[in-house]
Amino acid sequence: MQISVIGCGYLGAVHAAALAVMGHEVVGIDVDERKIADLSQSRAPFFEPGLPEALTEGFAAGRLAFSSEISEAKNATVHFIAVGTPQKAGSNAADLTYVFAAVEALMPHLKPGDLVVGKSTVPVGTARRIAELIAPTDARLAWNPEFLREGFAVNDSMHPDRIVYGLADDGNRDELKQVLDAVYATPIAEGAPVLVTELETAELVKVSANAFLATKISFINSMAEIAEATGADVTELADAIGLDARIGRRFLNAGVGFGGGCLPKDIRALMAHADEIGVGDSVAFLKEVDEVNLRRRAHVVSLAAEMLGGSVAGKRISLLGLSFKPESDDIRDSPALSIARLLSEDGASVVATDPEAIENARRVLTTVEYADSVESTVANADLVILLTEWKSFVQIDPSALSPLVSAAKIIDGRNVLDAQRWLAAGWDYRGMGRYRHEATGH
Ligand code: UDX
């Protein structure tokens, strides 16, 4: 099958490579020529485990190409729209400029019977507008949301836990379903369930899945606030409630909260759109979800001040982690970056490290010093704060760091360190919503 993928960001680049690995002939298209040059040489423009290998495999099979010319989409019969829908400047709404620009650029190259498949995360109703826009070309539209997680994107694309086709119920459904079944023949053969819905439901599935995940994280973070005020321990609480199969343990890790290019912007876009269509009350709770999440960042800063005798001013604070989560160099809406910014605004001298995200962070945050190793980051620190749970940080031997720091104090912003081990090595250890252990043991 000949397929084009318009937009080669986190979503499109991975999708194009995965489709080529699955056996299709794929051309990825993006207006950013540097991105295209990188991808054409199997270089991922961002850190994503497995992506360089998938690109190499696609090229080796002769089934993958990238281009900045939209006309290269002309031979494809299926066209995925995978451009970004960032938060609009000065508003909570999603910016759909790139989606409509991509569709309009594609239109002159569409042939009757082609299938345009939306993958971008959009407010409900967008698909219907695009269907009307492309109607004169006699191409058809489907909506097929993507649920991939950064860091696991290649695996999630090859082995999705579900595939959703949004197809208008206009008599062509079965025919369009067959086309999409052929696109996803490999995961379907592996047993991935397929759900066929109306366009609006498919658009909403993506947004509501992300809203649910964000709510789950903010729920446990609000319990962390209660735990902090009462002396309970939120990690033990999460283990206990997580064993209830109706609740489940995943996405119940309290800490510095969620970030990234999806959850924060998606809940805000859902609130903005719900307001616009007069059902704002239905998702008013998401405002609290957002606020609980942002409070975690401020909480880390006040905990730091408390541990440093009332103020962070003039103190040297070492940050372990900059990306919004491990196995990613993505710093969009990263809690670590906000915390770094807040600490330097309060007069701390901040030094940070990250296995992959330093270059990205350096571009947007210049008040912070960057170091290449954990050792040089913690040298002479008055306080160390773990903000992203990279494996290399989780495995740190606390007794090896003790001689390097000015004061052995650590905030575990992700509740991933072995508290007893750090305490035994003489550190003042503080987690998020966890027991206040004394260095002598609890
Ligand atoms: C998310 C969705 O999981 C994915 O299905 C969707 O397609 C895109 O958005 P992603 O943004 O890659 O994926 O990251 P995810 O793994 O969901 O983590 C989001 C944020 O939540 C991260 O900052 C992570 O650190 C945080 N998180 C996650 C927690 O704070 N606690 C948890 O228990 C889980």
Nearest CA to ligand 1 atom 17: 149
Residue 136: its pLDDT value, please? 97
pLDDT of residue 309: 98
**Is position 121 annotated in a ligand binding site?**
yes
User: What pTM was computed for the model?
Assistant: 0.96
Please state the domain extents for the chain.
Answer: 2-197, 205-442
Contacts of residue 336, defined as CB under 8 A and 6 or more positions apart, other chains included, come to: 256, 259, 319, 321, 322, 323, 324, 352, 354, 387, 388, 413
Question: Of the listed 130, 158, 164, 262, which one is catalytic?
Answer: 262
pLDDT of residue 442: 39
For the CA of 261, the closest atom of ligand 1 is 11
ipTM of model over 0.95: yes
Taking the CA of residue 334 as reference, the ligand 1 atom at the shortest distance is 23
Ligand 1 pocket: which residues have CB below 6 Å? 146-150, 210, 213, 217, 251-253, 255, 257-260, 262-263, 324-325
What tokens does 128 get? 């219907």
For residue 322, the CA-to-ligand 1 centroid distance in Å is 15
Task: Indicate the SS3 state at residue 191.
Answer: coil
Nearest residue (CA) to ligand 1, atom 15: 149
Q: Do domains 2-197 and 205-442 have the same CATH topology?
A: yes
Is 259 assigned to a binding site?
Answer: yes
| pLDDT value, residue 439 | 55
Ligand 1 centroid – CA 149 distance (Å): 7
> Tens digit of pLDDT per residue, the chain (442 long)?
999 999 999 999 999 999 999 999 999 999 999 999 999 999 999 999 999 999 999 999 999 999 999 999 999 999 999 999 999 999 999 999 999 999 999 999 999 999 999 999 999 999 999 999 999 999 999 999 999 999 999 999 999 999 999 999 999 999 999 999 999 999 999 999 999 999 999 999 999 999 999 999 999 999 999 999 999 999 999 999 999 999 999 999 999 999 999 999 999 999 999 999 999 999 999 999 999 999 999 999 999 999 999 999 999 999 999 999 999 999 999 999 999 999 999 999 999 999 999 999 999 999 999 999 999 999 999 999 999 999 999 999 999 999 999 999 999 999 999 999 999 999 999 999 998 766 544 3
Which pLDDT does position 127 carry in this prediction? Answer: 98
Ligand 1 atom nearest the C-alpha of 251 is 33
Residue nearest to atom 20 of ligand 1 (CA): 258
Residue nearest to atom 13 of ligand 1 (CA): 149
Domain 2-197 has CATH 3.40.50.720: yes
Contacts 24+ apart (CB under 8 A), 56-62: 57/17, 57/20, 57/21, 58/16, 58/17, 58/20, 58/21, 58/26, 61/20, 61/21
CATH, domain range 205-442: 3.40.50.720
* Residue 414 known to bind ligand: no
Would you call 262 a catalytic residue per the annotation?
yes
pLDDT at 47: 96
- Comparing CA positions, the residue from 177, 262, 168 lying closest to residue 211 is 262
Give the whole-angstrom CA distance, residue 19 versus residue 3: 8
